Amino acid sequence: MNIVNWNNETKQGAINFRASCYSVWDASKGFPIWRSGSTENLTSFQANILYHELGIRTWFCLAESNELKNCQLSLLPQIEKVFCSLSDKHPHLEIPLVNDYVNLYWHYLTECSNKIFNLFTQIASLKDHEKILISCYAGKDRTGLICALITGLLISDKQLIIDDYCESSIFLLKQIDYFQTNWEKRKITKMDYSQRFKYLNDIICLLLDKIEMKYGNIYSYLISIGINEQTLNNVRLHFKPYIKNQYLINDN
């Protein structure tokens, strides 16, 4: 949806906006999971596209309150807002490395597991055919992790999870000027800042390997944090009608 994505010239639109794991879904039925970074610069016209054309009914916002600014999406009464911030207590490194991101995501998985529990419980209670938007600040870290967990619950093809996470690099490198105040505040260059949008394949592969070593798979991780089988089954059933037959998962 180019019309919704951030435009460097007009300074309007959402950062890193796209359907999550779009190749998994039957496009004739629409995409049930959308993902993005900041939505603060959506116009009212663009916000209405999310509701009327894309069918988004619930917005799961993973950002913290100090990251949220006035946004047309938050003013749209038809879209339900679920604020489920994943707390980032790790130090903000000027130029984080691959392992720094893996450690950050592991922090989310272990120290913010109650938030992940609540989020999956909310998803399990969605109305039939209800489509969702998941967002944070850049749409790469918190959103990327949650989308990986959802996709890992729905399908068994690990490469599709990797590809979906890595696609953020394409969008964010094109939209990097949105983050100018960030690199200026850190007193680093634009090129230095762009490093955080690279090496994404290494990050997600290391994280998925770590999950497998500790828990066996994503399903078992979700069970370990207290989400029961019925809740996970309800999440699967909600998205199952949209999944192409070749990607359907039949067991745990």
Confidence at residue 188, expressed as pLDDT on a 0 to 100 scale: 94
Confidence at residue 7, expressed as pLDDT on a 0 to 100 scale: 87
Contact 42, 11 (CB under 8 A): no
Contact 101, 124 (CB under 8 A): no
Number of residues assigned to the chain: 252
Confidence at residue 91, expressed as pLDDT on a 0 to 100 scale: 59
Q: Return the CA Rg of the chain.
A: 17
> Looking at the DSSP assignment, which residues form a beta bridge with residue 14?
5
Q: What are the tokens at 237?
A: 């059933």
CATH code of 18-240, in short, is: 3.90.190.10
Contact 33, 239 (CB under 8 A): yes
Q: What are the tokens at 122?
A: 């909310």
Contact 62, 84 (CB under 8 A): yes
Confidence at residue 252, expressed as pLDDT on a 0 to 100 scale: 46
pLDDT 10s digit of each residue in the chain, 252 long?
A: 678 998 888 889 999 999 999 999 999 999 999 999 999 889 989 999 999 999 999 999 998 877 767 677 877 888 999 998 887 665 567 788 999 999 999 999 999 999 999 999 999 999 998 999 999 999 999 999 999 999 999 998 999 999 999 999 999 999 999 999 999 999 999 999 999 999 999 999 999 999 999 999 999 999 999 999 999 999 999 999 999 988 987 654
pTM over 0.85: yes
105, 95, 101, 103: which is closest to 195 by C-alpha? 95
